[in-house]
Amino acid sequence: MTAPAEGLGYAAHTRADAGSGAGWLPRRLPMRRLALALACTVSMALCLVVAAVLILNAGNAVREETESSFRIASDTVRQRMPPSFGGRDTMGDAIRLTEEIDGLRHVSAQILDSNGQPLQLRAHGHQRAEPAAPRWFSALITPEPLQELVPITHYPNVLGMLRVASDPTDEIAEVWEDFSIILPVLFLTGLAMVLLTLGLISVVSHRLRLVQEAMDRMRQGELSVRAPGARLTELAELAEGVNALASHLQAERAENDLLQTRLIGSSEAERSRIALDLHDEMGPELFALRAAVSHAQSMAAEVEAPMGPALADTLEAIARHAGAVQKSARTAINDLRPMLLGEATLTELLAELVAGFRDVSPQTRVVLDLDPDTDIASPGELAELSIYRFVRESVLNAMRHGRAGLVRISLETAPGTASGAGPEIVVRVTDNGGGPKPAPDQDRVMPSFGQIGMQDRARALGATYLPLWRENRLTHTELRMPLP
């Protein structure tokens, strides 16, 4: 059974601060979504710009080609148009010239009658094929149409008109053939840019997530964890900075633990000295006081009324108050230093503590769950005293705050693990109370001073303290003390 990995409130403080104090900050955006949006926008803009430039250049090329072909065809017609006299077949020559001009690229030629109707089909006796390019593409690059009408005369009659016009269909078809290849390549280039951006962002996000996981574990107290390195300079510098901070915090914690251990040792030595002074100085005085009162009571029994009964009542009150003072002194001495510490085993020490709880709260049943045949090794006097204080503080919290009817104390020895952890004593306190309740103005349970003290003491001694958690309607807390 394990407790929640959350510490004594750091993560909750962080969430509370992020939700309240930082409300003025703009809404955060995921890096992956932002990078994807920017890559798609840039790729689309690049495709549109390149397509626009290609269409503009294609339009200029089509216009120049058609104008050049039209000028050549127009000059050819003027130079080779048959004369209107001389006995030649004027119309026949004009038809042959028309077919020759109509067979050229980028121009068309046709003979019209006096009413403007064509006298024959297009060149070579057939109509030209429909343009291969889409209409929208043709509309974008089709230049202004050019046309010229040359009269066909046979003196003195006008036989018809030879119409020469620009025809960019062939050129537009060639441009569209190139454009239909360039456009998919351009689209695939933009797609490759987006995929490359996503790949790079995935690598960076993965590395940042590893650093974040390391920082989360450091926040939970595992300062030996280190963020992994990276080939990217910026990520490597970030990991080095996090690791340097963790090393500094680890050194500071080691120094604090050393000071805490010394402080605990000094505190326990002072407690022991005070308890010894109370025992050696107050004990004899209280014993002498009670002996004197007892002697006075025996002498007052011989005094006759009316002074005898009154004196006996007064001496009885003095004896009763002297007994109360002696009991309070014993309680204070036991709080400062258990009487059995150093003279009895840890099991006997806890059994004596459990017996004392019956006087504190008779309605609460406290059970020491321990096999009598189990041999519990001694972790040392300071560690035994820490276990004793942990059990006493946990049971008193269950009685006072949890209103528990049953408190169970278990003690066992856990063997070493393959990860290198040595054997340890596991002490668990379980109760059926309601557990700790948060304050009315707070959304979580704040650790008490006793819990904070137990956590500091455990860390200084190399132990593991698991704060209160709820499971199966029971409240649990645990202390794992390493054995030397």
Q: What is the mean pLDDT of residues 237-264?
A: 84
pLDDT of residue 443: 56
Query: What is the C-alpha separation between 179 and 57, in angstroms, rounded?
Result: 11
pLDDT of residue 87: 55
Residue 225: band (very low, low, confident or very high) from pLDDT cuts 50, 70, 90: confident
CATH 3.30.565.10 in the chain, residues?
Answer: 344-484
pLDDT of residue 7: 41
Contacts of 142 (CB under 8 A, 6+ apart): 62, 168, 172
Give the mean pLDDT of the chain: 79
Name the CATH superfamily for 344-484. Histidine kinase-like ATPase, C-terminal domain (3.30.565.10)
Beta carbons of 364 and 357 less than 8 angstroms apart: yes
- For residue 2 the two structure tokens come to 């394990």
Given a cut of 60, is residue 9 above it in pLDDT?
no
Beta carbons of 28 and 460 less than 8 angstroms apart: no
Of 284 and 421, the structure prediction assigns the larger pLDDT to 284
pLDDT of residue 88: 66
* Percent of the chain at pLDDT exceeding 90: 3
Q: Which long-range contacts (CB under 8 A, 24 or more apart) does 313-320 make?
A: 318/293, 319/290, 319/293, 319/294
Query: What is the C-alpha separation between 231 and 204, in angstroms, rounded?
Result: 11
Q: How far is CA 136 from the centre of its chain?
A: 50
Residue 182 C-beta-side C-alpha neighbours within 13 Å: 15
- Three-state DSSP at 464 gives strand
Q: How many CB atoms lie within 10 A of CB 278?
A: 16
Given a cut of 50, is residue 404 above it in pLDDT?
yes
pTM of the model: 0.49
pLDDT of residue 16: 43
Given a cut of 50, is residue 166 above it in pLDDT?
yes
> Tens digit of pLDDT for each residue in 377-398?
777 778 888 888 888 888 888 8
Q: What is the mean pLDDT of residues 11-23?
A: 44
> Tens digit of pLDDT for each residue in 251-283?
888 888 777 777 767 776 777 777 677 766 777
Q: What is the mean pLDDT of residues 176-199?
A: 87
Residue 349: band (very low, low, confident or very high) from pLDDT cuts 50, 70, 90: confident
Beta carbons of 368 and 429 less than 8 angstroms apart: no
> Tens digit of pLDDT for each residue in 89-129?
777 888 888 888 888 888 888 888 777 777 765 444 444 44
Query: What is the C-alpha separation between 44 and 46, in angstroms, rounded?
Result: 5
pLDDT of residue 120: 62
> Tens digit of pLDDT for each residue in 34-88?
888 888 888 888 888 988 888 899 889 889 988 998 899 888 888 888 776 655 6
Given a cut of 80, is residue 448 above it in pLDDT?
no
Beta carbons of 122 and 169 less than 8 angstroms apart: no
How far is the CA of 27 from the CAs of 17, 34, 165, 278, in angstroms?
A: 15, 13, 63, 63
Least confident of 30-34, 331-335, 370-374: 370-374
pLDDT of residue 428: 92
Contacts of 331 (CB under 8 A, 6+ apart): none
Per DSSP, helices labelled H in 337-471 are: 346-360, 381-400, 449-460
DSSP letter (8 states) at residue 118: B
pLDDT of residue 218: 87
> Tens digit of pLDDT for each residue in 122-153?
444 444 445 578 888 888 888 888 888 888 87
Helix-helix angle 90-102:31-80, to 10 degrees: 160
- Three-state DSSP at 133 gives coil
CB-neighbour burial class of residue 256 (10 A; exposed 0-12, middle 13-18, buried 19+):
middle
